Amino acid sequence: MSEAAAAVLAIDGGNSKTDVALVAADGTLLATVRGGPSNHQTVGSEQAAKELTTLIREVAEQAGIEVDGPVAQHTSACLAGADLPVEEASLERLVESLGWSATSTVVNDTFAVLRAGVPDDGPHWGIGVVCGAGINCVGMAPDGQTTRFLSLGDISGDWGGGGDLGPMALWWAARAEDGRGPETELRTAVAAHFGMSRVEDVIIGMHLGTINQSARHELVPVLFEVAGRGDKVARDVVLRQATEICLMVTVAARRLDLAEMPDVPVILGGSLMTAHDPVLSQAITDELAAAMPGALIRIVDVPPVAGAALLGLDHVGASPAAAARLRECAAVTWQLPSTARRIYPWIARDYGPNAAPPSK
C-alpha cells in the first residue's frame, strides 16, 4: 500500500443516500463525497457495488490517492440492509472482494450512530437509536455484548420514523375532513403544504399519480409544527413516536442488564432526532427519566459517516486525539445550523453547505 493511502475508508450507506469519507491516521478528514442509495435490499447487490465503487473512486481522486489499488488501510462500512448476521457476512465478503483496503468490517448503520455519540477516551458502549426514515436500535454492554432488533418494518413489529409519521399526518387529516375522525389542524396544514384547499384533492392527486406518494414524508415537519401548537391529534402521534423510541431503549437495556446502571449512554440519531423537535425531545426525556433514571441522553452532532470513521480509527488503533481531530473536521465540513434542523428535519441528511449533493 502506498504511503499516500488513508488510514480509514468510512462508508455510511443508506436507503436514500451514501456518504463516503477518507480519514488519515491522525484523524484528518481527507475527502468526502455523497452519492445515491446503496442498500442492497432495495437496489440489489450489483447496483450497490457499482454505486460504492463510483464513490470510492471519486473520494480517492479528491484526496489525491491512486485508485488502481487499495485506498486505505481499513474499510469501515456501516450499511443499511445489514440487518442480520448472514447479511453482514455477505456484505463483508462483497466489500473485501472490491479490494479497497487490507482489512474491512461491515456492521449495521445504527452502530455508527452509537459510536458517534459516545466519548472517544473510554469504553464505547451504550444504546443507540436511529429514527429517520425508519427506526432501529442497538445496544452494547461494557463487556462488548450486543443486542439488536430485527428492524425489518411492520413485519417485525416496528413503528416509527418518517415513513410512518408522514402518512399518519395525512391519515388523520383525511379522517378529520370526511368526518370519521376528530377535528385537527392537520386538516388545513396538510392541504396547504401541497398548495391545495382540501385534503381530498391531495389524496386524489396521489391516487392518480400527479403527486408522488413519497411526498408523504414531507409531512413530518408539518406534523411537528402542528403538534408544537398544541393540536391533540398531532401531539399524540409525536408522543407515540417518543414511546416507541423509549421502549426500544429500555428493552435493549434490560437485555444487557443495563437498566439499573447509572450513566448509561443513550445516543439518538437520524433526521427526526437531529431535528431537535421540542415536543418529541421532551417526551423522550420525560419517559426515560421515569423508566430508566440512569440514562444519559445525547443527540449526535456529527453525521453517521463520522461514526463509521470513528469505528475505523478504533480498528487501526488510533489515539483519542485522532478521534477528537476527526470530530473537529466533521464539525466544519458537515456543519448544520440548528435553525435549519428545526424548520425542516430532512435537511439533516445534507449536513450543511460544504456537503456534496446527492448524485442520483
Q: Is the pLDDT of residue 356 over 70?
A: no
Name the β-bridge partners of 299: 268
Q: Is the pLDDT of residue 354 over 90?
A: no
How do residues 229-238 score in pLDDT, each as one tens digit? 999 999 999 9
Q: Is the pLDDT of residue 358 over 60?
A: no
Question: Is domain 6-123+301-349 classified as CATH 3.90.1300.10?
Answer: no
- Percent of the chain whose pLDDT exceeds 90: 78
Name the β-bridge partners of 295: 264
Q: Is the pLDDT of residue 246 over 90?
A: yes
CA-CA distance, 84 to 88, in Å (whole number)?
6
Give me the pLDDT at residue 337, please: 40
Name the β-bridge partners of 77: 11, 106
- Provide mean pLDDT across the span 192-209: 98
Confidence band of 335 (pLDDT split at 50, 70, 90): low
The pTM of the full predicted model, rounded to 2 decimals, is 0.87
* H-helix or E-strand spanning residue 30: strand 29-35
Q: Considering only 180-189, 322-331, 349-358, which range has the smallest mean pLDDT?
A: 349-358
Considering the chain, what is the average pLDDT of its residues? 90
Confidence band of 346 (pLDDT split at 50, 70, 90): very low
Q: Considering only 65-74, 175-184, 219-228, 263-272, which range has the smallest mean pLDDT?
A: 65-74
CB 114 within 8 Å of CB 267: yes
DSSP conformational letter for 77: E
* 3-state SS, residue 39: coil
- Provide mean pLDDT across the span 263-285: 96
Joined together, the cell numbers standing for residue 347 give 435537511
Q: Break the chain into its structural domains and give their ranges.
A: 6-123+301-349
CA-CA distance, 155 to 296, in Å (whole number)?
31
Confidence band of 357 (pLDDT split at 50, 70, 90): very low
- Provide mean pLDDT across the span 72-94: 92
- Provide mean pLDDT across the span 82-108: 92
- In our burial notation (b when 16+ CB lie closer than 10 A, e otherwise), range 175-213 reads bbbeeebeebbbbbbbbebbebeebeebbebbeeeebee
